[in-house]
Amino acid sequence: MERPGISMVLLETRPGEQHFAFEHSREYQLVQFKFLDAVESMDPNNLVLLLQMNPYHVDSLLQLSDVCRMQEDQEMARDLIERALYTLECAFHPVFSLTSGTCRLDYRH
């Protein structure tokens, strides 16, 4: 997998807690602006084109998954969600653990 431009950083460590956030590279931020333009156009083909150029852009994957779900293409919707999760998992910080119960990921960051 090519580097998608998203990574996870450790923000803060407290007793029994570790706080993390996802960070976007400058290139990923530029793709995010293109994503917002594609959504605003209300043409799903623009999302498809964006994903052809940036196959691991999380927001595009999730948005196109919604489009597929509305068109009753459940298999493609599921595949796109799995790709989005895979992208996020690849960005996990080395000490981030979903099962430890001590890691926090604030949605506002």
What are residue 87's phi and psi, to 5 degrees?
-60, -45
pLDDT at 3 over 80: no
pLDDT at 109 over 80: no
How far is CA 63 from its chain centroid? 10
pLDDT at 69 over 70: yes
Query: What order do you get walking across the sheet with 17-24 strand by strand?
Result: 6-14, 17-24, 103-105
What the chain holds in terms of domains, given with CATH numbers, is 6-104 (1.25.40)
Residue 54, classed as helix, strand or coil, is coil
Query: How do residues 7-62 score in pLDDT, each as one tens digit?
Result: 999 999 999 999 999 999 999 999 999 999 999 999 999 999 999 999 999 999 99
User: For position 1, what pLDDT does the model report?
Assistant: 58
